[in-house]
Amino acid sequence: MIETVTTTPYTDQKMGTAGLRKKTAIAMQPHYIENFLQSIFNTIPSLETKSFLVGGDGRYFNNIAIQKIIKIAAANKVKKLYIAQNGLVSTPAGSCIILKNKLDGGLILTASHNPGGKNGDFGLKYSTSTGGQCQPHESQAILEQTLKITEYKISNATDFDLSQIGIFHCEETEIEIIDPYTDYIETMRNIFDFNKLHALLTSNFRFVFDAMNGVTGPYGKKIFEEILGAPEGSVLNATPKEDFGGLHPDPNLIYAKSLVDLMYSDNAPDFAAANDGDGDRNMILGSHFFVSPSDSFAILTDNYKIIPAYKDGIYGVAKSAATSMAVKRVADKLKIGFYEVPTGWKYFINLMDSKRITFCGEESFGTGATHIREKDGIWAILFWLSIIATTNKSVKQIALDHWQKYGRSYYLRNDYEGIAQEIADKLMSDLENRLPELTNKRFGNFTVSSAHPFIYNDPVDNSSTKNGLIVHFTDGSRIVYRLSGTGTNGATLRVYIERYVTDKLLEESNEILQELSKVSQEISHVCTLTGKQQPDIIT
Ligand code: G16
């Protein structure tokens, strides 16, 4: 039986950098998710011919939301849903399943690296047949639907058991519960030399992977322990939990603290990595060494020939504007294409589909390639392990060699969190208005060479996007300002600070960037406008 339920719009369902992200309590309001799902379906023609993947990172409220998706999709006459067994699929594996099975898209329930649980966050990433998240014009169309919705359709079927692989129906819609691992693991096997990796992980090389109680625990167990032979127990926090066991599943120096402490202890393993809640982010650590995401991306690119899938060449690379320039130096040396896009993996999709690029990377702990249309935490780890297995060098030595060859972009991101939206908006618009006056101005040892908003003109669909403000200095240093699009608590100002040097290669980033951090405050007036004397988080 299909019911038509009368509803009224919620006015806060605009998608951010990566889908809809809300406090769980907000997402649990009556009709909230129903409105959003119906709004998505309202934008998709011929639903009776369409198939979608459904799954997520296992966070609180996902199971309830998945049942709603099944019933609303069925009421809207969707042809078929592929549901990940137990509702668990990583964001990269989801993209892989959509592409391999030529699905029309997916509803991936995750707020990524944001905390979970009743008091945490809930999220939904809507992917299309590209395997990646919807484009800005598509999210705009969905937003418009959310603002005028008056009813949604839902089946009154009882809840379904998602634990057994198999096929059943809800109304006319076919529902197939699928194994979320096989397609993804096969894809990894086709990219990397698993024999070489097996030899490394069964040697005396000490490897640790922290899944942070997110969805990549079972993927990590299967790939690193069962297939590649790492000792049992190499995968930490391997069971997906609704509240991530109280962890903030963001793989960085602050939130993956126990892993970082281990890697800086006397008993440090050779290599450690962590993923976020939905498995698209990665952090790489060596013994007493942290690889910044921008450096990691540059190093992977420089070593592309090591990987069987890329040995014949790569098209080019792209990074978000906020990411350091390290990879550009590699692209220039390799004479491959280089692109700079706004923050958000969706902006890489056109470049990948048009074969302009093969790899992409972001400062926000994301790296990936054209095998899927999302960033991929496990892919990055397998790539790093392949470099180590081939070169026989430590993580630190690999990074040092890279810096000796190319110089080093010292890099920090300063986050000012929980700012009132009006203040954050004012800060950005005032700063944008002041940008023209900054050119040739001197701040301590740094002189501004140019300052402008970052505007991206997509070479494929000719769309234009403005995202963030960039200040360039005469010595090549840069400061980028932008507001985060993934938070759920007021606004977060992100300030990305970068300085390129060729001599002092093993200094502390904090020290090298101390003066520039102060300059970033002076230029933006952040302290006066927010009352904060320093960033809340420095990564
Ligand atoms: C998402 C996007 C990334 C982006 C990141 C940070 O990652 O997919 O492309 O870099 O958010 O965005 P912001 O600076 O706006 O908070 P994830 O892992 O949260 O899906």
pLDDT (tens place) for every residue of the chain, 539 residues total = 999 999 999 999 999 999 999 999 999 999 999 999 999 999 999 999 999 999 999 999 999 999 999 999 999 999 999 999 999 999 999 999 999 999 999 999 999 999 999 999 999 999 999 999 999 999 999 999 999 999 999 999 999 999 999 999 999 999 999 999 999 999 999 999 999 999 999 999 999 999 999 999 999 999 999 999 999 999 999 999 999 999 999 999 999 999 999 999 999 999 999 999 999 999 999 999 999 999 999 999 999 999 999 999 999 999 999 999 999 999 999 999 999 999 999 999 999 999 999 999 999 999 999 999 999 999 999 999 999 999 999 999 999 999 999 999 999 999 999 999 999 999 999 999 999 999 999 999 999 999 999 999 999 999 999 999 999 999 999 999 999 988 888 999 999 999 999 999 999 999 999 999 999 999 999 999 999 999 999 99
Sign of CA dihedral 3, 9, 12, 17: positive
Contact predicate 472/523, CB 8 Å: no
E-assigned strand segments in 391-439: 408-419
The helix/strand/coil state of 36 is helix
Contact predicate 116/246, CB 8 Å: no
E-assigned strand segments in 89-141: 105-109, 121-128
C-alpha 85 – ligand 1 centre gap (Å):
26
Contact predicate 197/188, CB 8 Å: no
- Which residue from 364, 456, 467 has its CB within 8 A of the most atoms of ligand 1, so it is best to mutate? 364
For residue 113 and ligand 1, the question of a CB distance below 6 A is answered with yes
For residue 319 and ligand 1, the question of a CB distance below 6 A is answered with no
For residue 364 and ligand 1, the question of a CB distance below 6 A is answered with yes
C-alpha 300 – ligand 1 centre gap (Å):
20
How far apart CA 31 and CA 146 sit, in angstroms, is 11
C-alpha 113 – ligand 1 centre gap (Å):
9
C-alpha 457 – ligand 1 centre gap (Å):
20
CB atoms within 10 A of CB 171: 18
CB atoms within 10 A of CB 437: 10
CA-nearest of 469, 431, 471 to 449 is 471
C-alpha 491 – ligand 1 centre gap (Å):
14
C-alpha 486 – ligand 1 centre gap (Å):
6
How far apart CA 284 and CA 110 sit, in angstroms, is 22
Residue nearest to atom 1 of ligand 1 (CA): 18
Q: For residue 420, what are its two tokens?
A: 């009132």
CB atoms within 10 A of CB 321: 22
How far apart CA 418 and CA 414 sit, in angstroms, is 13
What's residue 489's pLDDT? Answer: 86
For residue 280 and ligand 1, the question of a CB distance below 6 A is answered with yes
Index of the ligand 1 atom closest to the CA of residue 19: 20
CA-nearest of 224, 216, 217, 215 to 192 is 224
For residue 365 and ligand 1, the question of a CB distance below 6 A is answered with no
CB atoms within 10 A of CB 226: 12
Provide the 8-state DSSP code for 281.
B
C-alpha 513 – ligand 1 centre gap (Å):
24
Between strands 80-88 and 173-178, the pairing is parallel
Between strands 537-538 and 408-419, the pairing is antiparallel
CB atoms within 10 A of CB 396: 16
How far apart CA 446 and CA 518 sit, in angstroms, is 11
- Which residue from 14, 15, 17, 375 has its CB within 8 A of the most atoms of ligand 1, so it is best to mutate? 17
Index of the ligand 1 atom closest to the CA of residue 110: 20
For residue 483 and ligand 1, the question of a CB distance below 6 A is answered with no
How far apart CA 411 and CA 323 sit, in angstroms, is 9
Query: Is 463 annotated in the active site?
Result: no
For residue 343 and ligand 1, the question of a CB distance below 6 A is answered with yes
CA-nearest of 232, 239, 368, 346 to 293 is 368
Provide the 8-state DSSP code for 524.
H
CB atoms within 10 A of CB 48: 10
For residue 362 and ligand 1, the question of a CB distance below 6 A is answered with yes
Contact predicate 208/262, CB 8 Å: yes
Catalytic residue among 39, 112, 292, 509: 112
Residue nearest to atom 6 of ligand 1 (CA): 364
Contact predicate 47/79, CB 8 Å: yes
E-assigned strand segments in 420-505: 442-443, 446-457, 464-473, 478-483, 491-501
What's residue 487's pLDDT? Answer: 86
For residue 494 and ligand 1, the question of a CB distance below 6 A is answered with yes
E-assigned strand segments in 13-171: 20-23, 51-56, 80-88, 105-109, 121-128, 151-155, 166-170
Contact predicate 45/21, CB 8 Å: no
First-to-last alpha carbon distance for the chain, in angstroms, is 52
For residue 17 and ligand 1, the question of a CB distance below 6 A is answered with yes
Q: Cα dihedral angle (359, 413, 399, 477), rounded to 10 degrees?
A: 90
How far apart CA 205 and CA 230 sit, in angstroms, is 9
Burial (CB count within 10 angstroms: exposed 0-12, middle 13-18, buried 19+), residue 427: buried
For residue 323 and ligand 1, the question of a CB distance below 6 A is answered with no
| The amino acid at 468 | G
DSSP string, 291-322: E-HHHHHHHHHHTGGGSGGGTT---EEEEETT
